Amino acid sequence: MILSDGDIRRRLDSGTLEIEPLADPDLQIQPASVDLRLGREFLEFRHTNIPCIHPDSEQEVADYVDETRVDSGEEFILHPGDFVLGTTVERVTVPDDLIAHVEGRSSLGRLAVVVHATAGLCDPGFEGKITLELSNLGTAPVALTPEMRISQLTFTQLTNPAERPYGEERGSKYQGQTGPQASRIQSDDEFDR
């Protein structure tokens, strides 16, 4: 079951779902989703001379990622073919009985901007700002302005609360993130050597 606007409002009012700061609930709460705004921090992937990225190598991240902060009144230009990590303004806390799905907004999709490559799910128990995997699939640069509505969350009710929700107890890598986070795949068990 996907939550409707009324369900979302009731969850927010009762505190069983948290989205902070929700600047304009009347604008951001849609019929079956909540629009989230673009933050100011970005991780840009450098065009570099490393032969490849090794998923099990944490030290390589510094070799190919630059942090960028966009000042108030400025824009972030997403060029064709670019892939950058962004973040939401809002911090989200997903309860143990819901899953949140990160989706793009159709108005930006029509400009060829996508907000996730593959990580479109916030597990039950997730808490933090959402890292967005931003790409421009079009042929023209697109100006992104911090605070603009960039993505939306839909919420699906589980049949039962998760028995082992996302969080510190399971060693969840991105719990509590406060901005865009580069991959932490090197901490996966299969890379533990």
Q: Annotated catalytic sites, by residue?
A: 133
173 assigned to a ligand binding site: yes
59 assigned to a ligand binding site: no
Task: Specify the pairing of strand 127-136 against strand 65-69.
Answer: unpaired
Give per-residue burial for 64-73: e unless 16+ CB within 10 Å, then b.
Answer: bbeeeebeee
* CA diameter of the chain: 52
Instruction: Evaluate the omega torsion of the peptide bond into residue 21 and state whether it is cis, within 30 degrees of 0.
Output: yes
In eight-state DSSP terms, residue 156 is: E
86 assigned to a ligand binding site: no
105 assigned to a ligand binding site: yes
Q: Distance (Å, rounded) from C-alpha 190 to C-alpha 193?
A: 8
Q: Distance (Å, rounded) from C-alpha 21 to C-alpha 128?
A: 12
132 assigned to a ligand binding site: yes
96 assigned to a ligand binding site: no
64 assigned to a ligand binding site: no
Q: Among the residues of the chain, which ranges form H helices?
A: 5-14, 25-28, 61-64, 106-109
**What is the Rg, in whole angstroms, of the alpha carbon atoms belonging to the chain?**
17
108 assigned to a ligand binding site: yes
Which residues does residue 179 pair with via DSSP β-bridges, in sequence order?
none
Which residues are known binding-site members?
105-110, 123, 131-133, 152, 166, 173, 177
Residue list for the binding site for dCTP: 105-110, 123, 131-133, 152, 166, 173, 177
